[in-house]
Structure 1
Amino acid sequence: MTAVLTGLLAISGCAGNTNVQTGIISPTDYITASPSATATATATATPMQSAASGSDTFESKLANMTLEEKIGQMLLVGIDGTTLDAQAKRMIAEDKIGGIILYKDNISNLKGMVSLINDLKKSNAENPVPLFMSVDQEGGKVSRMPDEYATIPSNGSVGAADNSGAAGTMGKLLARELLSAGFNMDFAPVLDINSNPDNPVIGDRSFGNTADLVSRLGIAEMKGIASEGVVPVVKHFPGHGDTSVDSHLELPVVNKTAAQLAKLEWQPFEAAIQENADAVMVAHILFPELDSDKPASLSRAIIGKLLREEMGFQGVVITDDLTMGAITEHYTLAAAAVDTVQAGSDILLVAHEYGNEQAVRKALLASVQSGTIKESRIDESVYRILALKDKYRLTDQPTAVPDLRKLNQDITSWRSSLTK
């Protein structure tokens, strides 16, 4: 095992030794942190951050994982259809993928959704690490839950009320929706600022057009989601609000300087990091003033230097979907996968086509075997992933089809309060 992991396992305890700022500490922090800093971090840990003692800690899991298993944990993938198929089973059982994302096409109705999620988790029974079961459930036009759930309005509607309490309740309601079906991770809140009226992808997905409003309400939603036991993923760093191109189709370019971005786009993300954000999704946007060669999602200057070093984020970094046009029109998936890991990403989102998951997995395996990426770099990412799963005490336990009457009443009541 690598020297990094040896240093990790020399420290007693696990998720209790968390970074005060982010709730997750990286492997290198274990090695360099002073005893007093470690004690302070331990004192600030929440009960959810404490892992069970003994042989089942995530450190021991990491120590016993093969390279193939570790790379599997770095893949969060989409599947086809509304029922479990052979390819999905294979990715879970053989490739040991770390998580699944479901889209609207995967969800037909409440009973079918719960059945699919339970089947996916059951397929993971032989693996020691539970799955991230994730979804984009923002409210408004980005809502994946079936018709049995009461409608949650857009962030823009909540932003118009300018009520942090309402945004916090929104986060709790979103999390309750997800938990009722068996999900444990939400790609929300959106921390983009709606500064460009011609933006084809953000609009009312944003809370508004000022950094203060988006920061206050976005952090309230983030905390609301986390408080119910669902992992919130803030997005789309370093800011998707001033684009005029849909990154699902092509690569947007934002010609702003670092000073300009710091005055607007970055502020909600910096605030979220200060408020213990667990995970950040990085966008496929080219910022020539920061990195003239690579988009944010593949850029060491933006992920490694700006997000990690300058902003101090030590949690989990997730790419936006690598099968989007912004990437596939300019890079091979293999090259993009290696670039984003070298840049500092921990989880690679591969949302479409089983062959794409295979291409990304093979590229990462080959890059480690050739020495292009050190296995210690993989260990750092997998450590963060396992720490996050441990913090939220994720399991693959099945979920019963829920009775939604109380939840829907609460959503309807909260929704009515926005207009009062």
Structure 2
Amino acid sequence: MTRSRDTLLRRAGALLSVGVRGARPGDPRLERDLDLCAEVGVGSVVLFDVDVPHYRALLAGGVEAAEARHAAVRNVESPAQVRALCDHLRDRLGDGVVILVDQEGGQVARFRPERGFAASLPSATAFAALPAHARRAAADAQARELADLGLDGNLAPVVDLGSRPEGPLAAKERTFSADPAVVTTCAREVIEAQRAMGLASCIKHFPGLGSADLDTHHARPVLDEAFDAEVELAPWRALIADPLPPEILMASHAVWPAVDPDRSASLSHAVLTGVIREEMGYGGVISTDSLDMAGAGPSTALGSGSVEAAVAALRAGADLLMDAVNLAGPAEGIEHPARRLAEALVDAVQQGAVEGGWAEIDRRAQRVRSLRRAR
């Protein structure tokens, strides 16, 4: 590999946010993944508590769900271990690497009391039902713990409306309310608590999955006549218009046919650039949801990700291309996708896929680096 190619890989790799396998320094899986991430200068790492392929294998072998969840350790064992892991990630990938987690509360919480963590929020629905002072106290406590663990940001809050009670989000209590005003209020409380601790916040999943009848982990929903854009977009518009808007906006793998009938929002130039950047005036980091989800396109093996989806998202205007490396295929023996993804991104830029070329890639990378928490 030439020096110039190596430099280009690192410029493109700065846009990647990936999962890694292993909880402790010296774990061969972790070190192998980090070797590949380091080669291409991966800009961000996302932590997970459960290794999904291992969990599924245990279930298939007859292990009870709770036992399987506890046994299928990914990156999280205890608070002290997570702090040490964050330090190790920075040692291996550079002090500028941005470390993120999904800590919504309720069912979507990577740091749980049974592993010694103290401050997970209740579910979004339960959070919204609390008195205002209790919401603020809970949000403050969780943000303080996340900062103490060494995180740079939290991939929360969810600002999808609970407009379909039986839908994939509302049924799991991942939505604050069907009322845009309640959603906006609760989201602001979480964002303000996180910002006070120096943490970046992520509002998700644009343009809103509250009316969707399918889970983007397993399918690509279409936002049909049940999607009322004026209502569903109200929290997004309000939060983006705040003096300090959320640092990250995550686009979903749902198709919004009124804007782009052919591509999911996460891969659509009309959505990411046309609506989010130009119409709504958002200047922060635009992230995809994980590209190994079925809604983003085919994914045949753990770690393969979706190279085509990553390139499409790059073309569309995404700053942060996320691959959790945690959904499909066997748990062992599959190479981490960081290098393949970076190679594809370099080729796409070299072929003129991004208006502004490498200068635009560097601008996007700088947005990602701005998420790094001052210490």
TM above 0.5, one fold?
yes
Provide the rounded CA distance (Å) in 1 between the counterparts of 2:211 and 2:129.
20
From 100, 109, 112, the counterpart of 1:143: 109
Q: Which residue of 2 aligns with 1:133?
A: 99
Provide the rounded CA distance (Å) in 2 between the counterparts of 1:348 and 1:325.
15
From 348, 351, 365, the counterpart of 1:370: 351
The structure with the largest alpha-carbon Rg is 1
In structure 2, the CA distance between the partners of 1:167 and 1:269, relative to structure 1 (3 Å rule), is farther
Cα drift, residue 118 of structure 1 = 1.9
* 1:357 aligned partner, one-letter code: A
> Which structure carries more relative contact order (alpha carbon 8 Å, separation 6+)?
1
In structure 2, the CA distance between the partners of 1:169 and 1:269, relative to structure 1 (3 Å rule), is farther
Asked whether the equivalents of residues 333 and 359 of structure 1 are also in contact (C-alpha less than 8 Å), the reply is: no
Asked whether the equivalents of residues 202 and 249 of structure 2 are also in contact (C-alpha less than 8 Å), the reply is: yes
Cα drift, residue 217 of structure 1 = 1.2
Provide the rounded CA distance (Å) in 2 between the counterparts of 1:290 and 1:198.
26
Give aligned pairs, total.
Answer: 322
Cα drift, residue 69 of structure 1 = 2.1
Cα drift, residue 66 of structure 1 = 3.4
In structure 2, the CA distance between the partners of 1:138 and 1:257, relative to structure 1 (3 Å rule), is closer
In structure 2, the CA distance between the partners of 1:68 and 1:86, relative to structure 1 (3 Å rule), is same
Provide the rounded CA distance (Å) in 2 between the counterparts of 1:245 and 1:324.
13
Give the secondary structure class of the aligned counterpart of 1:304: helix
Give the secondary structure class of the aligned counterpart of 2:322: strand
Cα offsets for 1:228-255 (capped at 9, x unmatched): 1111111111101111111101111111
Asked whether the equivalents of residues 368 and 375 of structure 1 are also in contact (C-alpha less than 8 Å), the reply is: yes
Q: Which residue of 1 aligns with 2:306?
A: 333
Cα offsets for 1:264-294 (capped at 9, x unmatched): 1111111111122211011110111211110
Please tell me whether residue 247 in structure 1 is matched to residue 226 in structure 2: no
Cα drift, residue 302 of structure 1 = 0.8
Task: Give 1:12-411 correspondences, 5 Å limit.
Answer: 66-84=7-25, 85-105=30-50, 106-124=75-93, 127=94, 130-146=96-112, 147-150=115-118, 151-161=120-130, 163=132, 165-203=133-171, 204-256=173-225, 260-262=228-230, 264-275=231-242, 276-329=245-298, 333-352=306-325, 354-373=335-354, 374-389=357-372, 392-393=373-374
Provide the rounded CA distance (Å) in 1 between the counterparts of 2:176 and 2:169.
14
The percent identity for this pair of structures is 30
Provide the rounded CA distance (Å) in 2 between the counterparts of 1:329 and 1:93.
26
Cα offsets for 1:31-75 (capped at 9, x unmatched): xxxxxxxxxxxxxxxxxxxxxxxxxxxxxxxxxx93222212100
Cα drift, residue 156 of structure 1 = 0.7
* 2:49 aligned partner, one-letter code: K
* 1:344 aligned partner, one-letter code: G
| Structure 1 portions without partners, runs of 5+ | 1-64, 396-420
Cα offsets for 1:172-231 (capped at 9, x unmatched): 222111112111110011111111022123441111111111011111211111111111
In structure 2, the CA distance between the partners of 1:182 and 1:243, relative to structure 1 (3 Å rule), is same
Q: Which residue of 2 aligns with 1:60?
A: none
**Segments of 4+ in structure 1 off by > 6 A?**
none
Provide the rounded CA distance (Å) in 2 between the counterparts of 1:388 and 1:181.
16
In structure 2, the CA distance between the partners of 1:222 and 1:212, relative to structure 1 (3 Å rule), is same
Asked whether the equivalents of residues 78 and 117 of structure 2 are also in contact (C-alpha less than 8 Å), the reply is: no
| Structure 2 portions without partners, runs of 5+ | 1-5, 51-74, 326-333
Give the secondary structure class of the aligned counterpart of 1:205: coil
Over aligned residue pairs, what C-alpha RMSD do you find?
A: 2.2
Provide the rounded CA distance (Å) in 2 between the counterparts of 1:91 and 1:162.
47
Provide the rounded CA distance (Å) in 1 between the counterparts of 2:216 and 2:281.
27
* 1:382 aligned partner, one-letter code: A
